[in-house]
């Protein structure tokens, strides 16, 4: 009887595993190969090796536990009503995207960043040192059951004196990251550019959190985990995780792929993100659920 019971368990997990692998094979047909990088593109002068599924599995990456299962967003700055709306929509998106409870922490003032971690950039804009925010703000913030914390700033970010700016920065080991909305909003966020700017914010925030969950830059397909140097390059990149990156993240989070796709599709439709909606519909149409 015991041997029979063990056989049933083995067959159950084998069937589930085969079903999951079938999903990633099914949606692979929707992956779009990256075009050769042009001057100014992220990969044009970077020799990135990529990250296979096997390499990801051998790496140290976080897996949710009862003690660590909540993603937190930490707003830093003075936000308009439209920006505050986008932060809430980002929270909702990330909760669906990672299938983990996602909460917004109390907004902090820009005054928490000292003068030595600020500068005036090349465009006469104020910038905050991304590394300082990671090490001296987010690293110290330890809300209940946190698995990752992402800061969101309204001021521009820079990673070092030799860089002009950076969209975001994340620490693999500390599970903290920070992104800026400054360059995503075409100088000023309005009702007219709201959806375009929201799409950019969703891409950048899910990209940075993807790093925290162990994903390296993707060089295999047009994917939200592609590196980016500019807003035009960000706009060209897909909001969708390619099949390989989906397989990586699902290996640890173990969410229901059909449930996630349907919830993403509903979110995109409700927020009038039609290009993004079509990507989810293609994946849904390709699968054998």
222 Cβ contact list (under 8 Å, min separation 6): 31, 32, 33, 34, 236, 237, 238, 242
Q: How far is CA 232 from CA 60, 74, 267, in A?
A: 33, 27, 24
In contact, 198 and 268? CB cutoff 8 Å: no
Is 123 an active-site residue?
Answer: no
* The one catalytic residue among 25, 124, 208, 276: 208
In contact, 143 and 149? CB cutoff 8 Å: yes
Q: How far is CA 136 from CA 59, 68, 75, 217, in A?
A: 26, 21, 15, 26
Comparing C-alpha atoms, which of 127, 203, 133 is closest to residue 170? 133
In contact, 1 and 262? CB cutoff 8 Å: no
| Distance in angstroms (rounded) separating the CA atoms of residues 270 and 135 | 37
Phi, psi of 8 (to 5 degrees): -60, -45
Catalytic site residues? Answer: 208
């Amino acid at each position: 009887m015991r041997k029979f019971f063990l056989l049933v368990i083995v067959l159950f997990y084998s069937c589930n595993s085969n079903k999951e692998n079938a999903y990633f094979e099914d949606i692979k047909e929707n992956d779009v190969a990256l075009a050769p990088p042009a001057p100014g593109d992220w990969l044009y002068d970077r020799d990135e090796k990529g990250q296979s599924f096997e390499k990801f599995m051998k790496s140290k990456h976080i897996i949710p536990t009862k003690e660590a299962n909540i993603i937190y967003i930490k707003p830093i700055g003075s936000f308009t009503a439209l920006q505050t709306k986008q932060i809430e929509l980002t929270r909702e998106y990330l909760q669906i995207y990672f299938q983990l409870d996602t909460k917004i922490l109390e907004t902090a003032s820009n005054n928490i960043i000292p003068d030595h971690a600020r500068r005036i950039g090349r465009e006469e804009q104020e910038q905050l040192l991304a590394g300082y925010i990671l090490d001296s703000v987010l690293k110290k913030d330890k809300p209940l059951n946190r698995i990752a914390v992402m800061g969101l700033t309204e001021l521009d970010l820079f990673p070092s004196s030799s860089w002009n700016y950076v969209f975001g920065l994340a620490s693999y080991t500390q599970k903290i990251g920070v992104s800026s909305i400054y360059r995503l909003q075409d100088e000023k966020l309005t009702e007219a550019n709201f959806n375009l700017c929201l799409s950019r914010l969703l891409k950048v925030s899910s990209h940075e959190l993807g790093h925290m969950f162990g994903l390296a830059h993707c060089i295999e397909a047009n994917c939200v985990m592609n590196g980016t140097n500019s807003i035009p390059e960000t706009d060209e990149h897909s909001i969708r995780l390619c099949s390989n990156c989906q397989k990586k993240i699902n290996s640890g989070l173990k969410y229901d792929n059909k449930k996630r796709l349907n919830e993403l599709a509903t979110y995109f439709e409700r927020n009038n993100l039609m290009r993004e909606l079509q990507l989810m519909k293609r994946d849904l149409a390709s699968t054998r659920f």
